[in-house]
Amino acid sequence: MSEISLDLAKKLAEEALAEGRRSECKPLTVAVLDPGGHLKAMFREDGSGILRPEIAIGKAFGALGMGLGSRSLSRLAEERAPFLASISALTSKGIIPAAGGVLIHDKAGNLVCAVGISGDTSDLDEACILAAAEKLGLSADPGN
């Protein structure tokens, strides 16, 4: 694992928000967690709902904790709901099993962070972070 710099965490969040504006998304909140699950950066746009920070963190934390992009966790929630609910109850940050929690790797394939994003539909949320990662030359794993 590689530690993400504050500068890169901010760039990821800012690029995701910029993509949200280009895509005319509703106001977004972006949370960037380091590989240990610690909050590195969070941006909440004006008008983004009051629960959006917790949702964004839960998407990113679930992806880190399970080693799967949150799109995969969504499918797991459908297939094994009691299991995922039990795991979510174990964590202080929760697990949000919806698209928008993305594992980010550097060019060497090292995990550098997870990004959670919330504010619009899960698919649009996820598209914003995927575009941001691509623009910064990083590999994004949203799950499948």
The pTM of the full predicted model, rounded to 2 decimals, is 0.94
User: 84 is in which domain, residue-wise?
Assistant: 6-136
- Cα of first residue to Cα of last residue in the chain, in angstroms, is 22
Domain containing 114 — which CATH number?
A: 3.30.450.150
- Tell me if 97 sits within 8 A of 65, measured CB to CB: no
Residue 142 lies in a domain: no
Region of residue 141 (left: phi > 0; alpha: psi -120 to 50; beta: else)? beta
Question: Contact 45/14 with Cβ under 8 angstroms?
Answer: no
Q: In a structure prediction context, what are the per-residue pLDDT tens digits for the chain, which is 144 residues long? A: 578 999 999 999 999 999 999 999 999 999 999 999 999 999 999 999 999 999 999 999 999 999 999 999 988 888 998 888 888 888 888 899 999 999 999 999 999 999 999 999 999 999 999 999 999 999 999 999
Domain contains 144: no
Q: Which residues of 63-87 are buried (b: 16+ CB within 10 A; e: fewer)?
A: bbbbebbbbbbbebbeeeeeebeeb
In a domain, residue 1? The reply is no
